[in-house]
Protein backbone atom coordinates (compact mmCIF):
# COMPACT_ATOMS: atom_id res chain seq x y z
CA UNK A 1 0.00 0.00 0.00
CA UNK A 2 1.69 3.27 -1.08
CA UNK A 3 2.07 6.12 1.39
CA UNK A 4 0.52 9.49 0.56
CA UNK A 5 3.66 11.56 0.05
CA UNK A 6 7.43 11.13 -0.05
CA UNK A 7 9.75 14.16 0.15
CA UNK A 8 13.04 12.84 -1.18
CA UNK A 9 16.66 14.03 -1.22
CA UNK A 10 16.06 17.14 0.87
CA UNK A 11 18.28 18.92 3.38
CA UNK A 12 16.31 18.39 6.58
CA UNK A 13 16.40 21.13 9.22
CA UNK A 14 14.18 19.52 11.81
CA UNK A 15 13.33 22.52 14.03
CA UNK A 16 15.27 21.36 17.10
CA UNK A 17 18.41 23.34 16.31
CA UNK A 18 20.29 20.17 15.37
CA UNK A 19 22.61 20.31 12.33
CA UNK A 20 20.98 19.86 8.93
CA UNK A 21 21.19 16.44 7.32
CA UNK A 22 20.14 14.84 4.05
CA UNK A 23 17.16 12.50 4.21
CA UNK A 24 13.78 11.48 2.83
CA UNK A 25 10.53 12.11 4.71
CA UNK A 26 7.56 9.75 4.43
CA UNK A 27 4.08 11.17 5.09
CA UNK A 28 0.85 9.25 5.40
CA UNK A 29 -2.62 10.17 6.69
CA UNK A 30 -1.45 13.64 7.70
CA UNK A 31 1.55 12.54 9.76
CA UNK A 32 5.25 11.95 9.36
CA UNK A 33 5.78 8.20 9.50
CA UNK A 34 9.51 7.84 8.83
CA UNK A 35 12.64 9.90 8.15
CA UNK A 36 15.82 8.47 6.65
CA UNK A 37 17.11 6.93 3.45
CA UNK A 38 13.83 5.45 2.30
CA UNK A 39 12.74 3.23 -0.54
CA UNK A 40 8.96 3.42 -0.38
CA UNK A 41 6.10 3.53 -2.84
CA UNK A 42 4.22 6.82 -2.67
CA UNK A 43 1.21 8.31 -4.37
CA UNK A 44 3.28 11.45 -4.87
CA UNK A 45 7.00 12.13 -4.69
CA UNK A 46 8.48 15.62 -4.26
CA UNK A 47 12.13 15.79 -5.26
CA UNK A 48 13.67 18.21 -2.76
CA UNK A 49 17.25 17.91 -4.04
CA UNK A 50 18.95 21.26 -3.38
CA UNK A 51 16.10 22.42 -1.14
CA UNK A 52 15.67 22.81 2.61
CA UNK A 53 12.89 20.81 4.25
CA UNK A 54 11.74 22.39 7.52
CA UNK A 55 8.74 22.32 9.84
CA UNK A 56 5.99 24.75 8.89
CA UNK A 57 6.53 28.13 10.50
CA UNK A 58 4.34 29.24 13.44
CA UNK A 59 3.21 32.86 13.88
CA UNK A 60 2.02 33.68 17.41
CA UNK A 61 0.46 37.12 16.89
CA UNK A 62 -1.67 37.71 13.80
CA UNK A 63 -5.11 39.32 14.34
CA UNK A 64 -6.75 37.30 11.56
CA UNK A 65 -9.98 37.10 13.61
CA UNK A 66 -12.10 38.72 10.88
CA UNK A 67 -10.06 37.79 7.81
CA UNK A 68 -10.69 34.06 8.26
CA UNK A 69 -14.29 34.81 7.25
CA UNK A 70 -13.35 35.84 3.70
CA UNK A 71 -9.84 34.50 3.16
CA UNK A 72 -9.51 30.79 3.97
CA UNK A 73 -5.88 30.83 2.79
CA UNK A 74 -5.04 33.40 5.49
CA UNK A 75 -2.77 35.49 3.33
CA UNK A 76 -0.13 36.87 3.52
CA UNK A 77 1.08 34.47 6.23
CA UNK A 78 0.46 31.30 4.25
CA UNK A 79 2.50 32.66 1.32
CA UNK A 80 5.58 32.72 3.56
CA UNK A 81 5.67 29.08 4.68
CA UNK A 82 3.57 29.69 7.79
CA UNK A 83 1.39 26.67 8.55
CA UNK A 84 -0.01 27.70 11.96
CA UNK A 85 -1.22 31.09 13.21
CA UNK A 86 -2.49 32.23 16.60
CA UNK A 87 -5.18 34.91 16.70
CA UNK A 88 -7.39 36.60 19.29
CA UNK A 89 -4.53 38.85 20.33
CA UNK A 90 -4.40 42.11 22.33
CA UNK A 91 -7.72 41.53 24.08
CA UNK A 92 -9.76 42.41 20.95
CA UNK A 93 -11.84 39.86 19.07
CA UNK A 94 -15.18 38.85 17.62
CA UNK A 95 -16.43 36.24 20.07
CA UNK A 96 -18.47 35.84 22.11
CA UNK A 97 -20.83 38.30 20.45
CA UNK A 98 -24.62 38.63 20.36
CA UNK A 99 -26.19 40.10 17.21
CA UNK A 100 -26.95 43.37 18.99
CA UNK A 101 -23.27 43.80 19.92
CA UNK A 102 -21.72 43.21 16.51
CA UNK A 103 -21.14 46.90 15.87
CA UNK A 104 -19.19 47.21 19.11
CA UNK A 105 -16.95 44.29 18.18
CA UNK A 106 -16.39 45.64 14.67
CA UNK A 107 -15.54 49.18 15.80
CA UNK A 108 -13.11 47.77 18.35
CA UNK A 109 -11.22 46.15 15.47
CA UNK A 110 -11.40 49.37 13.46
CA UNK A 111 -9.77 51.46 16.17
CA UNK A 112 -7.36 48.96 17.73
CA UNK A 113 -6.26 47.02 14.65
CA UNK A 114 -6.93 49.58 11.91
CA UNK A 115 -9.17 47.39 9.75
CA UNK A 116 -11.68 49.59 7.87
CA UNK A 117 -15.30 49.31 9.02
CA UNK A 118 -16.54 48.85 5.44
CA UNK A 119 -14.28 45.81 5.05
CA UNK A 120 -15.57 44.27 8.28
CA UNK A 121 -19.20 45.09 7.49
CA UNK A 122 -19.00 43.32 4.14
CA UNK A 123 -16.65 40.51 5.14
CA UNK A 124 -17.59 39.15 8.56
CA UNK A 125 -19.99 36.22 8.30
CA UNK A 126 -21.27 36.30 11.91
CA UNK A 127 -22.13 32.60 11.87
CA UNK A 128 -21.53 32.28 15.64
CA UNK A 129 -22.38 33.84 18.98
CA UNK A 130 -20.36 31.96 21.61
CA UNK A 131 -16.60 31.43 21.45
CA UNK A 132 -16.85 27.64 20.91
CA UNK A 133 -19.27 28.37 18.05
CA UNK A 134 -16.71 30.81 16.60
CA UNK A 135 -14.04 28.09 16.55
CA UNK A 136 -16.45 25.57 15.05
CA UNK A 137 -17.49 28.06 12.35
CA UNK A 138 -13.87 28.50 11.27
CA UNK A 139 -13.45 24.75 10.80
CA UNK A 140 -16.79 24.48 9.00
CA UNK A 141 -15.88 27.22 6.49
CA UNK A 142 -12.47 25.65 5.90
CA UNK A 143 -8.94 27.03 6.32
CA UNK A 144 -5.78 26.54 4.34
CA UNK A 145 -3.46 26.51 7.35
CA UNK A 146 -3.91 25.69 11.02
CA UNK A 147 -5.45 28.25 13.36
CA UNK A 148 -5.32 28.49 17.12
CA UNK A 149 -7.40 30.92 19.13
CA UNK A 150 -6.77 33.00 22.22
CA UNK A 151 -9.88 34.20 24.01
CA UNK A 152 -9.71 37.99 23.72
CA UNK A 153 -10.95 39.32 27.06
CA UNK A 154 -12.88 42.40 25.86
CA UNK A 155 -15.84 40.61 24.23
CA UNK A 156 -16.19 38.35 27.27
CA UNK A 157 -16.51 41.37 29.55
CA UNK A 158 -18.93 43.01 27.12
CA UNK A 159 -21.10 39.87 26.96
CA UNK A 160 -21.58 39.94 30.73
CA UNK A 161 -21.47 43.69 31.47
CA UNK A 162 -22.79 45.36 28.32
CA UNK A 163 -21.44 48.83 27.52
CA UNK A 164 -20.47 49.28 31.17
CA UNK A 165 -17.54 46.99 30.38
CA UNK A 166 -15.92 50.01 28.72
CA UNK A 167 -16.28 52.14 31.81
CA UNK A 168 -15.60 50.20 35.00
CA UNK A 169 -14.27 47.07 36.66
CA UNK A 170 -16.50 44.02 37.00
CA UNK A 171 -18.29 43.23 40.21
CA UNK A 172 -17.45 39.99 41.94
CA UNK A 173 -20.60 38.39 40.51
CA UNK A 174 -19.77 39.59 37.00
CA UNK A 175 -16.18 38.38 37.30
CA UNK A 176 -17.43 34.93 38.28
CA UNK A 177 -19.70 34.87 35.21
CA UNK A 178 -16.83 35.93 32.94
CA UNK A 179 -14.56 33.34 34.54
CA UNK A 180 -17.15 30.62 33.94
CA UNK A 181 -17.30 31.56 30.26
CA UNK A 182 -13.52 31.46 30.04
CA UNK A 183 -13.55 28.04 31.66
CA UNK A 184 -15.97 26.77 29.00
CA UNK A 185 -13.83 28.33 26.30
CA UNK A 186 -10.67 26.69 27.62
CA UNK A 187 -12.48 23.34 27.70
CA UNK A 188 -13.41 23.90 24.05
CA UNK A 189 -9.74 24.28 23.13
CA UNK A 190 -8.74 27.95 23.39
CA UNK A 191 -5.00 28.49 23.85
CA UNK A 192 -5.50 30.92 26.72
CA UNK A 193 -6.66 34.50 26.88
CA UNK A 194 -5.34 37.89 25.83
CA UNK A 195 -5.70 41.45 27.06
CA UNK A 196 -4.22 44.90 26.73
CA UNK A 197 -3.59 47.75 29.15
CA UNK A 198 -2.05 50.06 26.53
CA UNK A 199 -3.65 53.54 26.53
CA UNK A 200 -3.73 53.81 22.72
CA UNK A 201 -6.11 50.85 22.57
CA UNK A 202 -9.43 52.64 22.34
CA UNK A 203 -12.46 51.03 20.77
CA UNK A 204 -16.15 51.66 20.15
CA UNK A 205 -17.06 55.37 20.38
CA UNK A 206 -13.49 56.14 21.36
CA UNK A 207 -13.93 54.42 24.73
CA UNK A 208 -11.21 52.28 26.33
CA UNK A 209 -11.12 48.73 25.09
CA UNK A 210 -13.10 46.80 27.70
CA UNK A 211 -10.27 44.61 28.95
CA UNK A 212 -8.29 47.70 29.92
CA UNK A 213 -10.78 48.29 32.73
CA UNK A 214 -10.33 44.84 34.30
CA UNK A 215 -9.19 45.13 37.91
CA UNK A 216 -6.36 43.10 39.38
CA UNK A 217 -8.93 41.09 41.32
CA UNK A 218 -10.64 40.24 38.04
CA UNK A 219 -7.42 39.27 36.34
CA UNK A 220 -6.44 37.14 39.31
CA UNK A 221 -9.71 35.21 38.92
CA UNK A 222 -9.25 34.76 35.18
CA UNK A 223 -5.64 33.64 35.61
CA UNK A 224 -6.83 30.98 38.04
CA UNK A 225 -9.06 29.60 35.28
CA UNK A 226 -5.90 28.68 33.38
CA UNK A 227 -4.35 27.20 36.48
CA UNK A 228 -7.40 24.98 36.86
CA UNK A 229 -7.38 24.06 33.18
CA UNK A 230 -3.71 23.09 33.31
CA UNK A 231 -3.05 24.44 29.81
CA UNK A 232 -3.00 27.67 27.89
CA UNK A 233 -1.04 30.90 28.04
CA UNK A 234 -1.74 34.60 28.66
CA UNK A 235 -0.81 37.28 26.16
CA UNK A 236 -0.81 40.92 27.23
CA UNK A 237 -0.11 44.12 25.29
CA UNK A 238 1.58 45.85 28.14
CA UNK A 239 4.30 48.40 27.74
CA UNK A 240 3.59 52.11 27.43
CA UNK A 241 7.16 52.57 26.19
CA UNK A 242 8.32 50.08 23.54
CA UNK A 243 11.05 47.94 25.13
CA UNK A 244 10.39 49.33 28.61
CA UNK A 245 9.00 47.63 31.71
CA UNK A 246 7.83 49.84 34.55
CA UNK A 247 7.43 48.65 38.13
CA UNK A 248 3.65 48.63 37.67
CA UNK A 249 3.93 46.61 34.46
CA UNK A 250 6.32 44.15 36.08
CA UNK A 251 3.88 43.69 38.95
CA UNK A 252 1.05 42.92 36.53
CA UNK A 253 3.14 40.32 34.71
CA UNK A 254 4.09 38.80 38.04
CA UNK A 255 0.43 38.61 39.07
CA UNK A 256 -0.67 36.93 35.83
CA UNK A 257 2.23 34.47 35.88
CA UNK A 258 2.02 33.51 39.55
CA UNK A 259 -1.77 33.23 39.69
CA UNK A 260 -2.09 31.22 36.48
CA UNK A 261 1.08 29.15 36.87
CA UNK A 262 1.15 29.34 33.07
CA UNK A 263 3.50 31.10 30.61
CA UNK A 264 2.83 34.76 29.84
CA UNK A 265 3.96 36.57 26.70
CA UNK A 266 3.98 40.34 26.53
CA UNK A 267 4.22 43.03 23.86
CA UNK A 268 6.50 44.32 22.98
CA UNK A 269 10.26 44.43 23.11
CA UNK A 270 11.30 46.81 20.34
CA UNK A 271 14.65 48.39 19.61
CA UNK A 272 14.65 52.19 19.90
CA UNK A 273 17.31 54.51 18.55
CA UNK A 274 16.62 56.96 21.38
CA UNK A 275 17.15 54.25 24.03
CA UNK A 276 19.34 51.56 22.44
CA UNK A 277 19.94 49.52 25.59
CA UNK A 278 16.39 49.66 26.92
CA UNK A 279 15.38 46.23 25.64
CA UNK A 280 18.44 44.46 27.07
CA UNK A 281 17.91 46.22 30.42
CA UNK A 282 14.30 45.02 30.38
CA UNK A 283 15.42 41.43 29.85
CA UNK A 284 17.69 41.66 32.86
CA UNK A 285 14.97 43.24 34.97
CA UNK A 286 12.51 40.52 33.96
CA UNK A 287 14.88 37.62 34.77
CA UNK A 288 12.64 36.08 37.50
CA UNK A 289 9.70 36.09 35.09
CA UNK A 290 11.77 34.69 32.24
CA UNK A 291 12.94 31.85 34.47
CA UNK A 292 9.25 30.89 34.89
CA UNK A 293 8.89 30.63 31.11
CA UNK A 294 7.45 34.09 30.37
CA UNK A 295 8.56 35.58 27.07
CA UNK A 296 8.47 39.06 25.50
CA UNK A 297 7.71 39.09 21.79
CA UNK A 298 10.21 40.63 19.39
CA UNK A 299 10.22 41.40 15.68
CA UNK A 300 12.55 40.26 12.93
CA UNK A 301 11.66 43.06 10.51
CA UNK A 302 12.01 46.82 10.91
CA UNK A 303 8.77 48.57 11.83
CA UNK A 304 8.14 50.93 8.94
CA UNK A 305 4.58 52.14 9.07
CA UNK A 306 2.30 53.88 6.63
CA UNK A 307 -0.50 55.92 8.13
CA UNK A 308 -3.07 58.58 7.45
CA UNK A 309 -5.10 60.80 9.74
CA UNK A 310 -8.40 59.10 8.98
CA UNK A 311 -7.26 56.44 11.44
CA UNK A 312 -4.49 58.03 13.53
CA UNK A 313 -3.57 54.81 15.37
CA UNK A 314 0.03 55.94 15.76
CA UNK A 315 -1.14 58.68 18.12
CA UNK A 316 -3.81 56.66 19.93
CA UNK A 317 -2.05 56.99 23.28
CA UNK A 318 -2.08 60.80 23.20
CA UNK A 319 -4.82 62.51 25.18
CA UNK A 320 -5.02 65.36 22.68
CA UNK A 321 -6.01 62.87 19.93
CA UNK A 322 -8.67 60.97 21.87
CA UNK A 323 -11.64 63.05 20.57
CA UNK A 324 -10.91 62.13 16.94
CA UNK A 325 -11.60 58.44 17.54
CA UNK A 326 -15.11 57.07 17.25
CA UNK A 327 -17.56 56.93 14.38
CA UNK A 328 -16.71 60.38 13.01
CA UNK A 329 -17.06 61.60 9.45
CA UNK A 330 -14.11 62.86 7.45
CA UNK A 331 -15.48 66.39 7.64
CA UNK A 332 -15.77 66.22 11.43
CA UNK A 333 -12.21 64.96 11.70
CA UNK A 334 -10.91 67.67 9.36
CA UNK A 335 -12.60 70.32 11.48
CA UNK A 336 -11.01 68.87 14.61
CA UNK A 337 -7.53 68.78 13.06
CA UNK A 338 -7.86 72.41 11.92
CA UNK A 339 -8.43 73.71 15.43
CA UNK A 340 -5.50 75.81 16.68
CA UNK A 341 -6.06 74.85 20.31
CA UNK A 342 -5.90 71.15 19.44
CA UNK A 343 -2.68 71.67 17.47
CA UNK A 344 -1.06 73.46 20.38
CA UNK A 345 -2.01 70.63 22.75
CA UNK A 346 -0.82 68.01 20.26
CA UNK A 347 2.57 69.71 19.80
CA UNK A 348 3.05 70.04 23.54
CA UNK A 349 2.22 66.37 24.14
CA UNK A 350 4.35 65.16 21.22
CA UNK A 351 7.45 66.79 22.70
CA UNK A 352 7.15 64.42 25.67
CA UNK A 353 6.97 61.25 23.55
CA UNK A 354 10.51 60.03 22.99
CA UNK A 355 9.74 57.53 20.21
CA UNK A 356 8.09 60.24 18.09
CA UNK A 357 10.39 63.12 18.96
CA UNK A 358 11.91 63.31 15.46
CA UNK A 359 8.78 62.55 13.43
CA UNK A 360 9.12 65.71 11.35
CA UNK A 361 12.47 64.47 10.00
CA UNK A 362 11.71 60.73 9.82
CA UNK A 363 8.23 60.80 8.31
CA UNK A 364 7.83 61.19 4.56
CA UNK A 365 4.80 61.95 2.45
CA UNK A 366 4.43 58.67 0.57
CA UNK A 367 1.28 59.27 -1.42
CA UNK A 368 -1.07 62.16 -2.09
CA UNK A 369 -4.23 61.82 -4.15
CA UNK A 370 -4.66 65.44 -5.28
CA UNK A 371 -2.41 66.51 -8.17
CA UNK A 372 -1.42 69.78 -6.52
CA UNK A 373 0.13 67.85 -3.61
CA UNK A 374 2.16 65.39 -5.69
CA UNK A 375 5.26 67.59 -5.50
CA UNK A 376 5.42 66.90 -1.75
CA UNK A 377 5.77 63.14 -2.17
CA UNK A 378 8.89 61.53 -0.64
CA UNK A 379 9.80 64.74 1.15
CA UNK A 380 10.02 64.99 4.92
CA UNK A 381 7.45 67.01 6.79
CA UNK A 382 10.16 69.42 7.90
CA UNK A 383 11.25 69.95 4.29
CA UNK A 384 7.72 70.75 3.15
CA UNK A 385 7.27 73.03 6.16
CA UNK A 386 10.43 74.93 5.14
CA UNK A 387 9.18 75.22 1.56
CA UNK A 388 5.83 76.52 2.77
CA UNK A 389 7.32 78.75 5.42
CA UNK A 390 5.20 77.10 8.10
CA UNK A 391 5.51 75.16 11.33
CA UNK A 392 5.88 71.36 10.90
CA UNK A 393 2.86 70.71 13.16
CA UNK A 394 0.63 72.95 11.05
CA UNK A 395 1.95 71.59 7.76
CA UNK A 396 1.45 67.99 8.98
CA UNK A 397 -2.26 68.57 9.56
CA UNK A 398 -2.75 71.03 6.67
CA UNK A 399 -1.45 68.54 4.11
CA UNK A 400 -3.79 65.83 5.39
CA UNK A 401 -6.79 68.18 5.39
CA UNK A 402 -6.03 69.43 1.87
CA UNK A 403 -6.06 65.79 0.69
CA UNK A 404 -9.32 64.95 2.53
CA UNK A 405 -7.34 62.76 4.95
CA UNK A 406 -6.29 60.44 2.13
CA UNK A 407 -2.65 61.52 2.26
CA UNK A 408 -0.35 58.70 3.34
CA UNK A 409 2.72 59.26 5.50
CA UNK A 410 5.50 56.68 5.84
CA UNK A 411 7.86 56.50 8.78
CA UNK A 412 10.59 54.11 9.96
CA UNK A 413 9.74 53.79 13.61
CA UNK A 414 11.38 50.94 15.52
CA UNK A 415 13.80 48.01 15.08
CA UNK A 416 15.89 49.92 12.57
CA UNK A 417 19.38 49.14 13.92
CA UNK A 418 20.14 45.71 12.47
CA UNK A 419 22.97 44.73 14.81
CA UNK A 420 20.85 45.29 17.92
CA UNK A 421 17.83 43.62 16.33
CA UNK A 422 19.91 40.50 15.62
CA UNK A 423 21.00 40.35 19.27
CA UNK A 424 17.40 40.68 20.35
CA UNK A 425 15.78 38.06 18.14
CA UNK A 426 18.66 35.62 18.70
CA UNK A 427 18.22 35.75 22.47
CA UNK A 428 16.50 32.56 23.73
CA UNK A 429 14.68 34.62 26.38
CA UNK A 430 12.56 36.22 23.64
CA UNK A 431 9.95 34.87 21.20
CA UNK A 432 9.81 36.06 17.60
CA UNK A 433 6.33 37.27 16.70
CA UNK A 434 4.26 40.48 16.50
CA UNK A 435 3.66 40.18 12.78
CA UNK A 436 0.14 41.69 13.08
CA UNK A 437 -0.55 39.82 9.83
CA UNK A 438 -4.26 40.67 9.65
CA UNK A 439 -4.12 44.11 11.29
CA UNK A 440 -3.10 47.65 10.31
CA UNK A 441 -3.82 46.44 6.82
CA UNK A 442 -2.97 49.63 4.93
CA UNK A 443 -0.19 50.72 7.31
CA UNK A 444 2.28 47.84 7.33
CA UNK A 445 2.81 44.22 6.33
CA UNK A 446 5.17 42.20 8.51
CA UNK A 447 3.53 38.82 7.91
CA UNK A 448 6.55 37.86 5.80
CA UNK A 449 9.00 37.95 8.69
CA UNK A 450 9.90 34.21 8.45
CA UNK A 451 11.17 34.52 4.89
CA UNK A 452 12.82 37.86 5.70
CA UNK A 453 14.57 36.30 8.69
CA UNK A 454 15.86 33.39 6.61
CA UNK A 455 16.68 35.28 3.44
CA UNK A 456 18.17 38.46 4.85
CA UNK A 457 19.54 37.68 8.28
CA UNK A 458 20.43 33.98 7.85
CA UNK A 459 21.62 33.98 4.23
CA UNK A 460 22.67 37.51 3.22
CA UNK A 461 24.02 38.82 6.52
CA UNK A 462 24.84 35.40 8.00
CA UNK A 463 23.92 36.94 11.34
CA UNK A 464 22.08 33.84 12.57
CA UNK A 465 22.57 30.19 11.65
CA UNK A 466 19.91 28.52 9.52
CA UNK A 467 19.19 25.81 12.10
CA UNK A 468 18.86 28.36 14.91
CA UNK A 469 16.63 30.63 12.84
CA UNK A 470 14.27 27.80 11.96
CA UNK A 471 14.11 26.61 15.57
CA UNK A 472 13.12 30.11 16.65
CA UNK A 473 10.07 30.16 14.36
CA UNK A 474 8.98 26.51 14.67
CA UNK A 475 9.58 24.41 17.76
CA UNK A 476 10.01 27.34 20.15
CA UNK A 477 6.57 28.91 19.61
CA UNK A 478 5.03 25.44 19.37
CA UNK A 479 6.35 24.46 22.80
CA UNK A 480 5.38 27.82 24.33
CA UNK A 481 1.75 27.44 23.24
CA UNK A 482 1.61 23.75 24.05
CA UNK A 483 1.24 22.61 20.44
CA UNK A 484 2.81 19.24 21.08
CA UNK A 485 2.55 17.64 17.64
CA UNK A 486 3.95 20.44 15.47
CA UNK A 487 7.10 22.51 15.15
CA UNK A 488 9.53 19.62 14.56
CA UNK A 489 10.15 17.04 11.87
CA UNK A 490 10.10 13.59 13.44
CA UNK A 491 8.04 10.44 13.16
CA UNK A 492 4.58 10.78 14.67
CA UNK A 493 4.35 14.57 14.28
CA UNK A 494 1.74 16.29 12.14
CA UNK A 495 3.04 16.76 8.62
CA UNK A 496 3.29 20.54 8.45
CA UNK A 497 6.29 21.11 6.20
CA UNK A 498 7.84 24.04 4.37
CA UNK A 499 10.20 23.25 1.48
CA UNK A 500 12.30 26.18 0.30
CA UNK A 501 15.30 27.19 -1.75
CA UNK A 502 17.75 28.78 0.69
CA UNK A 503 19.50 30.57 -2.19
CA UNK A 504 16.29 32.43 -3.10
CA UNK A 505 14.13 32.63 0.01
CA UNK A 506 13.13 36.13 1.04
CA UNK A 507 10.50 38.83 0.94
CA UNK A 508 10.75 42.43 -0.22
CA UNK A 509 11.47 45.22 2.23
CA UNK A 510 8.63 47.31 0.84
CA UNK A 511 5.12 45.89 0.48
CA UNK A 512 2.83 46.36 -2.48
CA UNK A 513 -0.67 47.83 -2.33
CA UNK A 514 -3.65 45.71 -3.36
CA UNK A 515 -7.38 46.38 -3.27
CA UNK A 516 -8.41 42.79 -2.51
CA UNK A 517 -10.31 43.15 0.76
CA UNK A 518 -14.13 42.96 0.89
CA UNK A 519 -15.68 46.03 -0.70
CA UNK A 520 -12.43 46.78 -2.53
CA UNK A 521 -10.61 47.69 0.66
CA UNK A 522 -6.89 48.27 0.36
CA UNK A 523 -4.09 46.45 2.11
CA UNK A 524 -0.33 46.15 1.94
CA UNK A 525 1.02 42.70 1.08
CA UNK A 526 4.34 40.97 0.57
CA UNK A 527 4.83 37.87 -1.58
CA UNK A 528 7.49 35.30 -0.71
CA UNK A 529 10.36 34.21 -2.89
CA UNK A 530 11.88 30.76 -2.72
CA UNK A 531 9.04 28.84 -1.03
CA UNK A 532 8.65 25.81 -3.27
CA UNK A 533 6.08 23.75 -1.34
CA UNK A 534 3.89 24.35 1.69
CA UNK A 535 2.41 21.17 3.13
CA UNK A 536 -0.28 21.27 5.82
CA UNK A 537 -1.45 18.12 7.58
CA UNK A 538 0.18 16.05 4.86
CA UNK A 539 -1.46 17.78 1.91
CA UNK A 540 0.19 20.21 -0.48
CA UNK A 541 -1.33 23.68 -0.08
CA UNK A 542 1.05 25.63 -2.35
CA UNK A 543 3.35 24.49 -5.11
CA UNK A 544 5.66 27.22 -6.49
CA UNK A 545 3.24 29.94 -5.27
CA UNK A 546 0.26 28.19 -6.87
CA UNK A 547 -2.60 27.21 -4.59
CA UNK A 548 -3.49 23.58 -5.24
CA UNK A 549 -7.15 24.06 -4.31
CA UNK A 550 -6.77 22.17 -1.04
CA UNK A 551 -7.87 23.57 2.33
CA UNK A 552 -6.11 21.15 4.70
CA UNK A 553 -5.87 23.41 7.75
CA UNK A 554 -7.46 22.66 11.10
CA UNK A 555 -8.67 24.54 14.12
CA UNK A 556 -6.12 23.47 16.70
CA UNK A 557 -7.44 22.89 20.20
CA UNK A 558 -5.34 23.29 23.29
CA UNK A 559 -5.45 20.72 26.07
CA UNK A 560 -7.24 18.11 24.01
CA UNK A 561 -5.85 14.76 22.84
CA UNK A 562 -3.91 14.91 19.61
CA UNK A 563 -5.68 13.00 16.86
CA UNK A 564 -3.52 10.38 15.20
Q: Provide the phi-psi class of 539: left if phi over 0, else alpha when psi is between -120 and 50, else beta.
A: beta
Examine the pLDDT at 38 and tell me if it is beyond 60. yes
pLDDT digits (tens, 9 = 90+) for 383-408: 999 999 999 999 999 999 999 999 99
Examine the pLDDT at 221 and tell me if it is beyond 60. yes
According to DSSP, residue 269 is labeled -
pLDDT digits (tens, 9 = 90+) for 445-467: 999 999 999 999 999 999 999 99
Task: Give the C-alpha distances (Å, rounded to integers) separating 477 from 60, 76, 86, 438.
Answer: 7, 19, 10, 19
Examine the pLDDT at 564 and tell me if it is beyond 50. no
Closest CA to 71 of 447, 443, 517: 517
pLDDT of residue 486: 98
Neighbours of 184 (CB within 10 A): 16
Domains, the chain, with CATH or none: 57-302+415-525 (3.20.20.140), 307-412 (no CATH)
Task: Give the C-alpha distances (Å, rounded to integers) separating 194 from 151, 154, 240, 299, 466.
Answer: 6, 9, 17, 19, 31
Closest CA to 349 of 323, 321, 376: 321
Rounded Cα distance, 217 and 226, in Å = 15
Q: Does residue 146 sit in helix, strand or coil?
A: strand
pLDDT of residue 160: 98
φ, ψ for residue 82, nearest 5 deg: -80, 130
pLDDT of residue 242: 83
Q: Please give the model's pTM, rounded to 2 decimal places.
A: 0.93
What mean pLDDT, rounded, does the chain reach?
Answer: 95
Query: Torsion angle of alpha carbons 484, 489, 493, 497, nearest 10°?
Result: 100
pLDDT of residue 21: 98
How many CA atoms within 13 Å lie on the side-chain side of 320? 18
pLDDT digits (tens, 9 = 90+) for 336-366: 999 999 999 999 999 888 778 789 999 999 9
Examine the pLDDT at 164 and tell me if it is beyond 60. yes
pLDDT digits (tens, 9 = 90+) for 318-331: 889 988 887 789 99
Q: Tell me if 477 sits within 8 A of 58, measured CB to CB.
A: yes
Average pLDDT value for residue range 46-52? 98
Q: Predicted confidence band at 239 (pLDDT cuts at 50, 70, 90)?
A: confident
268: cis peptide before it, omega within 30°? yes
Amino acid sequence: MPIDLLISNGTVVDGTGAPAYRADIAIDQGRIVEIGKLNLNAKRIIDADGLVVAPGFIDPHTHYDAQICWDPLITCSSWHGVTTVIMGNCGVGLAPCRPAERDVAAWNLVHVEAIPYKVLDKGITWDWETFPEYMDAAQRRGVGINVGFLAALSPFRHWVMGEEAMGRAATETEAVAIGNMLQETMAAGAFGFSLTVMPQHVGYKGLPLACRLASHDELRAYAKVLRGAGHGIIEIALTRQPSGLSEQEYALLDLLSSESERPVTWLNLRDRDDAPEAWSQTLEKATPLLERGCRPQVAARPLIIEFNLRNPFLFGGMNSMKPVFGDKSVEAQKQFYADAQFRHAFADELRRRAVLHDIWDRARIKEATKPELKSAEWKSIRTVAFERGGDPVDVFFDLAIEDDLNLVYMMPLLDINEDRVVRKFSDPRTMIGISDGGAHVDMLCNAGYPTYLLGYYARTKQAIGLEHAIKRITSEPARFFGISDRGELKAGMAADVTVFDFDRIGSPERPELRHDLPGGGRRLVTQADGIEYTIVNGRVLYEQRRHTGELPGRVLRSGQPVSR
